Structure 1
Amino acid sequence: MTIKAPSPLRRGLLLLTAAAALAPWGALQAQSYPTAKPVTLIVPWPAGGSTDRHLRALSEIASKHLGQQIVIENKPGGGGTLGPGTMALTAKPDGYTIAQFPLGMLRIPHMQKTQWHPLNDFSFIIGVSGYTFGFTVRADSPYKTFNEYIEAARKQPGQINYGSTGTGSSPHLLMEELAGNAKIQLNHVPFKGNADLQQALLGGHVMAQSDASGWDKFVDGGQMRLLVTFGEERTKRWPQVPTAKELGYGVVSTSPYGLVGPKGMDPAVVKALHDAYKKAMDDPKHIELLDQLNQAMWYRNGDDYRKWAVETYAKDKALIERLGLAAK
């Protein structure tokens, strides 16, 4: 009995079928990513704040390069750690759920026990930007300068308060570090995000606020007074406002952030997300938005972003311990 050899076409189809059967599931998934399903980006702050404004606009541009819609899910709480922490514990590493990774993610675990590890439980995708931090009061505040505010705290220990975007967040820790350097005691009031914080200051519920530049429109509109910023140099937008460094308080902070996914993401999926967001970052509309928010570009690829996170996690452990905020 003669067995007829398969035709070249049929032989090719058989080989493809066999290869597909042997290929890892992740590789096949990566080839089809993203399918007709939106990608969710968790922003761990309330809608309307500076981070939400930034990542919402950036993701709209990135959606066009990715070929799939990217939707924003606001999940505030835990000083910016609730959203990405929940993602690490519950989301599949398929590229359809990612999150902003604020600097607090590398600090909170030194201050309290967490169910997630900031380095081992995440796939690092891309470093994006950093903040311009500033300290503002209401326009009718008796404090015309930052030094006047500090002097009031010196005369009334624990009676002068300020709000921030949460315990362990950069706006909180930079003020704690500054208070230590100035040898004063301030009363800290935490909020879930800067949209809530702005309203609390405008409503007179706190005397001042330490925050990223979500206060920009209120400063420019005359409702708030910007007393100090925390960069290496004065800002282009508010050049008349001194830095904490030049006032002699020895604090500089920009708190870089980027995007991460759950651990175990396929490298091809990480690359697809990285490439879409990198193209979006270079888009003139995004660069214009950064100028409006008074933020700088802080691009890092996934590997470099993870390396930075490892170094920062170790460095900030020393800061937390020095401030007496380490978990017992």
Structure 2
Amino acid sequence: MRQPPIDPRRRQLLAGAAVAGAAGLLAPFAAHASRYPARPITFICPWPVGGTADQSMRALCQVASGVLGQSIVVENRAGASGMIGTKTLASATPDGYTIGQIPISVARFSQLGMLQLDPRTELTYLARTSGQTFGIAVRKDSPFQTLKEAVAHAKANPGKLTYGHAGVGGATHVGMEEFALAAGVQFNAIAYKGGAAALQDLLGGQIDMLADSSSWAPHVESGALRLLATWGSSRPARFQDAPTLKELGYDVVVEAPNGIGAPPGLPPEVERALRDAFRLAVQSDVFRQVAQRIDAPVMYLDGPAYRDYVSSVYAQETVLIERLNLKALLQKG
């Protein structure tokens, strides 16, 4: 049976309805396509592959990528005690597709001229994540059974006892020099691009001692290394036999919590998405298991609170730089 022709006015109405309907169906997809993140994110880790910082950041990125629905690719930019990576991060386009770890040492290096920015105002802070367990380790065949013995040797042989650290002006270097000042001794500091390289030289017998976060932990447990002291406010759960510097009479505590950040000028909605993702990542079992394995106490702060924390550390570093004469140490290398 032949259908009657459609009135042109009705045809126009139907066509309009079809367009509107298609637009309604496509709207959610268009919104999804423009929603952040729409492509993989680069995460700059300012330390070498395999170190404790690298391990913790990769665990965080693994969880955060699942929250955000996009892969997060870790890119290691080691050197200058973490400042090469930080400089790269700070100068990146503030669109949320380049983020990274911000070492707390930015508060020190910005004042020493190694980082040409003010970390209090020229970075976006997303989350403080965890601290570190620092310690002084020696080989099992070292003549030093205790830190007291190492100090006695250093006093009798000024500048002879060597120790490796992860970079001039970084937490391991400054913490060890702060301890040396408190103990009244002078060590021979050997700088590396990261703790992993320093650890290998200790194991190989090229240096006498290692000052580092817990890269030494598995070797202490296996008996290849001996832990003389840790630097926290209390003894770590896994290494109850090792005294803290404070217990030994030295008023030195170093935990150096680090966090996640981005370039300045991040769009508010992107900042919120990243803060939420890394808050969930820090709270995840995946990250907490890694943090426990590398003896990194979880010390979470949301972005704005982390920014305030950096500002308070900045003021403390101003005093420490003068007390340790760090500018001269940095020039000496």
Q: Tell me, yes or no, whether TM beats 0.5.
A: yes
Deviation at 1:29, TM superposition (A): 11
Q: Tell me which residue corresponds to 2:88.
A: 86
Q: Tell me which residue corresponds to 1:32.
A: 35
Deviation at 1:273, TM superposition (A): 1.1
Does 2:126 align with 1:128?
no
Corresponding letter in the other structure for 2:319: A
CA contact (8 A) 2:100 2:261 kept: yes
Q: Deviations over 1:279-301 (max 9, x none)?
A: 12111222122111111111111
Q: Deviations over 1:253-303 (max 9, x none)?
A: 100110110010011111111111111211122212211111111111111
Aligned-partner SS, 1:42: strand
CA contact (8 A) 1:179 1:186 kept: yes
**Cα distance between partner residues in 2 of 1:63 and 1:133:** 29
Aligned-partner SS, 1:80: helix
Q: Deviations over 1:124-148 (max 9, x none)?
A: 1111000000110111111111111
Q: Tell me which residue corresponds to 1:264.
A: 265
**Cα distance between partner residues in 2 of 1:143 and 1:217:** 20
**Cα distance between partner residues in 2 of 1:148 and 1:115:** 41
Judging changes above 3 Å, is the alpha-carbon distance between structure 1 residues 31 and 299 closer, same or farther for their aligned structure 2 residues?
A: farther
CA contact (8 A) 2:106 2:115 kept: no
**Cα distance between partner residues in 1 of 2:118 and 2:100:** 15
Deviation at 1:315, TM superposition (A): 1.1
CA contact (8 A) 1:41 1:73 kept: yes
Deviation at 1:116, TM superposition (A): 2.6
**Cα distance between partner residues in 2 of 1:67 and 1:249:** 48
Does 2:304 align with 1:303?
yes
CA contact (8 A) 1:230 1:251 kept: yes
**Cα distance between partner residues in 1 of 2:115 and 2:290:** 34
CA contact (8 A) 2:123 2:263 kept: yes
Equivalent positions of 1:64-83 (< 5 A) are 64-83=66-85
Does 2:46 align with 1:44?
yes
**Cα distance between partner residues in 2 of 1:57 and 1:145:** 35
Q: State the aligned residue count.
A: 306
Q: Tell me which residue corresponds to 2:192.
A: 191
Aligned-partner SS, 1:33: coil
Does 2:128 align with 1:116?
no
Q: Tell me which residue corresponds to 1:201.
A: 202
**Cα distance between partner residues in 2 of 1:196 and 1:325:** 23
Q: Deviations over 1:95-133 (max 9, x none)?
A: 111111112211112223533332232111111000000
- CA-atom RMSD in angstroms: 2.2
Does 2:44 align with 1:60?
no
Corresponding letter in the other structure for 2:210: Q
Deviation at 1:31, TM superposition (A): 5.8
Aligned-partner SS, 1:316: helix
Deviation at 1:30, TM superposition (A): 11
Does 2:291 align with 1:320?
no
Judging changes above 3 Å, is the alpha-carbon distance between structure 1 residues 113 and 190 closer, same or farther for their aligned structure 2 residues?
A: closer
Corresponding letter in the other structure for 1:50: T
CA contact (8 A) 2:126 2:278 kept: no
Equivalent positions of 1:155-170 (< 5 A) are 155-170=156-171
Corresponding letter in the other structure for 2:179: L
Q: Tell me which residue corresponds to 1:213.
A: 214
**Cα distance between partner residues in 2 of 1:74 and 1:156:** 38
Equivalent positions of 1:273-284 (< 5 A) are 273-284=274-285
Corresponding letter in the other structure for 1:130: G
Deviation at 1:194, TM superposition (A): 1.2
CA contact (8 A) 1:134 1:229 kept: yes
Unaligned runs of 5+ in 1: 1-6, 17-27
TM-score using structure 1 length = 0.89
CA contact (8 A) 1:38 1:69 kept: yes
Q: Deviations over 1:17-43 (max 9, x none)?
A: xxxxxxxxxxx99962100x2111111
**Cα distance between partner residues in 1 of 2:182 and 2:303:** 35
Corresponding letter in the other structure for 1:33: Y
Judging changes above 3 Å, is the alpha-carbon distance between structure 1 residues 302 and 29 closer, same or farther for their aligned structure 2 residues?
A: farther
TM-score using structure 2 length = 0.87
Q: Tell me which residue corresponds to 1:106.
A: 107
Q: Deviations over 1:187-234 (max 9, x none)?
A: 111110111111111111111111001111111122111110011111
**Cα distance between partner residues in 2 of 1:163 and 1:139:** 16
CA contact (8 A) 1:42 1:99 kept: yes
Which consecutive aligned stretches of 4+ in structure 1 deviate over 4 angstroms post-superposition? Answer: 28-31
**Cα distance between partner residues in 1 of 2:48 and 2:220:** 20
Judging changes above 3 Å, is the alpha-carbon distance between structure 1 residues 129 and 150 closer, same or farther for their aligned structure 2 residues?
A: same
Unaligned runs of 5+ in 2: 1-12, 24-30
CA contact (8 A) 2:83 2:114 kept: no
CA contact (8 A) 1:30 1:268 kept: no
